[in-house]
Every structure is written in structure tokens, then in C-alpha cells.
């Protein structure tokens, strides 16, 4: 029987140990990779299942709509008047003040006694209340005024992102977010669960002020809650964008507010940098992150000033997080930020 010398024996044993360890690590990595692949496929399946359910709900919500846009459409309380609309004004028992008028391209109408009135940006209810107040204060006792839209102007709404038929749609009646998503063929399989609406709102008043507004709507709330404050009526020029899954939203006092695809580990500071950085008016010590959890909504705060100085901790973001950078009241900034009801975020900017 041949006996190896001590150095040879030691080398042989080391080789055997290393080979065994290498095999163990390979098997472990293979198991981890397999588990990761299974989890990834399960997440993809759950994503497709949720989108399929949302598409069914969108179709149900829009199923009662007439297919022909020329058919008479009931008035929508959230619709705001614009140039080209024809409105029917009726003052009870005063035929001389009851008439049908078209809103001029500059947003004004002409009425007996009251003269020229800027109505662009008003809802019919707001105009109704305004006329009753003006007539009651000067000419009539407790006037009963009714305002209806006789004819809607044609306008364009863009539906973009993860929908089956992204396009600029020309519509001739007020339509809600769900109705426009249905018109765009519903959501694609890789769609996220939030909708991003950008619009310019005209503030009623003597001075024709405009305000840029961003709305982030939760599709899950949208399909189960008929509240018109969530399923909003769209205006001409509105853009509806459905981001793909795996995005975060950056809003408020940043240079390029919007939705951003998550690439690797995304933090608050990285997201703000992708949004072009903070504006001069930004309050970087109180940045908020709104996150949906199984227990409800959670609000986190980050002091980006301290993060930059390496004196504070940043937050690793999750899919669907909303980062809001508020503005210093002493500096030029936002017209307002609010979360009025569940499922809706609204950020307004004076322009």
C-alpha cells in the first residue's frame, strides 16, 4: 500500500475540501436562483391578474355609455365651460332673460342687464349661482335660474402610456377618466395601478388666471368608488398617462414633476435628482413619501438636506410611492397641495 507524504496529503485534502465547498455554493446559488425565478413569475402572474380585474371593472363602468358620441349626454357636474360650448339659460317667469348663448373663444358671453360675463372655467352650477346672485342683488327678487349645456364643443384629450390604444382622442361630450381608459382599449399587462392626469385649470374671476394641476389617481379606488371627485370629468387639453408598473411619482417643487421608472435601488434623493432637482422654493427638510400598505396609507418624511450632509438616512422607495416636495411659503412656490379624499392627490402650480 502506497502512502503519500505529508505535503502531498495536505494538498490533496485541501483540494477535496475546496471542491466540496464549491459544489455546495453552486447548489445553493442554483436553489436561490430557482426560488427567485419562481417568485418573479408569481409576481408577474399577480400583476397580470390585477390588471385583468381592473380592465373588467373599467369596461363595466363604461358599459352604459352610448357608442355614438353625437347621442345626447347627461350633464356632468365637474365639467367646466369653455369657448364653443352652447349654454341654455332659463330665468323662471322672465322670458326676456332666458336665452341660448354660445361661449366665445375668449370665454365670455353677453346677457341682457348683466352685459359681458366671463364663464370659461366655471361649472354650470357655479354659473347658475353667480347669475342668481347678480340678478337678485340688482333686478329681481329671489330669481330662480337654471343653466344647462345644450351643445358641447369638440376638444382633444390625450391618453398615453400603458394602454392598448394610446392616442389623442377628439371627443364631443364630457367624459370621465374611466370612460377615456375604456376608449383607449383598457390597460396593458404591464400597467401600474395609478393614473397621472395633467391639466390647466382656469380660475374663475375678472383676471383670467390659469393654474397647472397634476392629479394622481389610484385605479383601485377609481373602479370601486363612483365619487366624481375621483372619477373626474376631463377637459379639453387634459393628458391622461398610465405609467407601467415599477414607477414612483415625484411632485411639487421640482423642475420636472412626473412619474419615473425605478432602476435598481431607488431612494428619495435619487428620485428628486431624476426629476431635475429641487426648485429654489423647495422645503428639503420635510419631504414626504406617501406609500400604500396592507394596513392603509403610510406617510414617511425625509430630510434631504441632512442626507446630502450624511447626517440623516434616506428612504428606499417602493413601486407606486409618491414623493411630494413642498414649497416654502416665503418663497415663490406651489399654489397648493392637498389629499382631499382617499385615492386622489392633487398638486397645483400658479402659471
Q: Inform me whether the pLDDT recorded for 72 exceeds 80.
A: no
The residue that leads in pLDDT, 13 or 160, is: 160
Q: What is the mean pLDDT of residues 227-253?
A: 87
Residues 105 and 174 in one domain: no
Q: Inform me whether the pLDDT recorded for 154 exceeds 70.
A: yes
The pairing of strands 322-325 and 287-293 is antiparallel
Residues 194 and 282 in one domain: yes
**pLDDT per position as a tens digit, 100-143:** 999 998 889 999 988 999 998 888 999 999 999 999 888 888 89
Q: Inform me whether the pLDDT recorded for 323 exceeds 90.
A: yes
Q: What percent of the chain has pLDDT over 70?
A: 73
Residues 121 and 242 in one domain: no
Q: What pLDDT, on a 0 to 100 scale, did the predictor assign at position 197?
A: 92
CATH number at residue 121: 3.30.1950.10
CATH number at residue 282: 3.10.560.10
Q: What is the mean pLDDT of residues 84-99?
A: 90
Q: How many domains does the chain have?
A: 2
Q: What pLDDT, on a 0 to 100 scale, did the predictor assign at position 158?
A: 95
pTM over 0.85: no
Which residue, of 116, 151, 186, is where some domain finishes?
A: 151
Residue 20 lies in a domain: no
Length of the chain: 351
Q: What is the mean pLDDT of residues 308-335?
A: 80
The residue that leads in pLDDT, 212 or 199, is: 199
* Mean of pLDDT over the chain: 79
Residues 145 and 278 in one domain: no
Residues 145 and 288 in one domain: no
Residues 296 and 330 in one domain: yes
The residue that leads in pLDDT, 71 or 186, is: 186
- Residue 242: domain span: 154-350
Q: What pLDDT, on a 0 to 100 scale, did the predictor assign at position 46?
A: 65
Q: What pLDDT, on a 0 to 100 scale, did the predictor assign at position 343?
A: 61
Q: Inform me whether the pLDDT recorded for 221 exceeds 90.
A: no
Residues 187 and 301 in one domain: yes
The residue that leads in pLDDT, 3 or 58, is: 58
Q: Inform me whether the pLDDT recorded for 68 exceeds 50.
A: no
Residues 230 and 322 in one domain: yes
Q: Inform me whether the pLDDT recorded for 146 exceeds 90.
A: yes
Q: What is the mean pLDDT of residues 164-188?
A: 91
Which residue, of 136, 151, 166, is where some domain finishes?
A: 151
CB atoms within 10 A of CB 158: 18
Q: How far is CA 329 from CA 98, 105, 166, 196, 297, in A?
A: 46, 35, 39, 26, 26
Residues 100 and 173 in one domain: no
Q: What pLDDT, on a 0 to 100 scale, did the predictor assign at position 341?
A: 54
**pLDDT per position as a tens digit, 22-61:** 555 555 555 555 544 544 454 555 667 778 888 888 887 6
CA distance 334 to 327: 6
Least confident piece of the model among 30-34, 83-87, 132-136, 191-195: 30-34
Residue 56 lies in a domain: no
Q: Are 349 and 335 in contact (CB under 8 A)?
A: yes
Q: What is the mean pLDDT of residues 291-299?
A: 82
Tell me the range of 165-169, 171-175, 214-218 where mean pLDDT is highest. Answer: 165-169
Residues 146 and 180 in one domain: no
Amino acid at each position: 500500500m502506497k502512502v503519500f507524504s505529508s505535503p502531498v496529503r495536505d494538498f490533496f485534502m485541501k483540494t477535496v475540501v475546496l471542491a466540496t465547498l464549491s459544489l455546495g455554493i453552486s447548489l445553493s446559488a442554483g436553489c436561490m436562483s430557482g426560488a427567485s425565478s419562481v417568485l418573479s413569475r408569481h409576481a408577474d402572474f399577480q400583476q397580470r391578474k390585477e390588471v385583468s380585474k381592473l380592465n373588467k371593472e373599467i369596461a363595466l363602468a363604461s358599459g352604459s355609455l352610448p357608442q355614438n358620441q353625437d347621442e345626447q349626454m347627461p350633464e356632468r357636474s365637474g365639467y367646466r365651460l369653455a369657448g364653443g360650448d352652447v349654454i341654455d339659460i332659463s330665468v323662471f317667469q322672465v322670458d326676456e332673460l332666458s336665452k341660448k348663448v354660445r361661449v366665445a373663444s375668449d370665454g365670455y358671453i353677453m346677457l341682457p342687464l348683466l352685459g359681458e360675463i366671463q364663464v370659461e372655467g366655471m361649472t354650470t352650477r357655479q354659473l347658475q349661482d353667480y347669475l342668481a346672485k347678480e340678478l337678485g342683488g340688482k333686478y329681481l327678487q329671489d330669481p330662480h335660474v337654471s343653466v344647462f349645456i345644450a351643445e358641447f364643443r369638440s376638444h382633444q384629450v390625450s391618453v398615453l402610456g400603458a394602454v392598448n390604444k394610446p392616442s389623442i382622442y377628439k371627443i364631443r361630450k364630457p367624459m370621465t377618466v374611466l370612460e377615456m381608459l375604456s376608449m383607449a382599449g383598457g390597460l396593458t399587462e404591464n400597467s401600474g395601478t395609478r393614473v397621472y392626469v395633467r391639466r390647466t385649470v382656469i380660475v374663475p374671476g375678472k383676471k383670467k388666471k390659469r393654474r397647472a394641476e397634476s392629479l394622481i389617481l389610484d385605479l383601485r379606488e377609481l373602479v370601486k368608488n363612483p365619487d366624481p371627485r375621483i372619477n373626474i370629468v376631463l377637459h379639453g387639453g387634459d393628458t391622461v398617462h398610465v405609467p407601467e408598473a415599477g414607477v414612483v411619482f415625484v411632485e411639487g417643487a421640482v423642475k420636472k414633476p412626473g412619474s419615473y421608472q425605478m432602476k435598481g435601488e431607488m431612494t428619495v434623493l435619487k428620485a428628486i435628482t431624476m426629476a431635475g432637482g429641487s426648485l429654489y422654493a423647495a422645503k428639503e427638510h420635510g419631504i414626504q413619501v406617501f406609500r400604500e400598505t396592507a394596513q392603509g396609507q403610510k406617510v414617511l418624511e425625509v430630510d434631504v438636506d441632512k442626507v446630502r450632509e450624511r447626517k440623516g438616512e434616506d428612504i428606499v422607495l417602493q413601486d407606486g410611492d409618491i414623493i411630494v416636495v413642498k414649497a416654502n411659503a416665503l418663497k415663490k412656490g406651489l399654489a397648493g397641495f392637498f389629499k382631499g379624499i382617499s385615492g386622489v392627490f392633487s398638486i397645483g402650480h400658479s402659471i
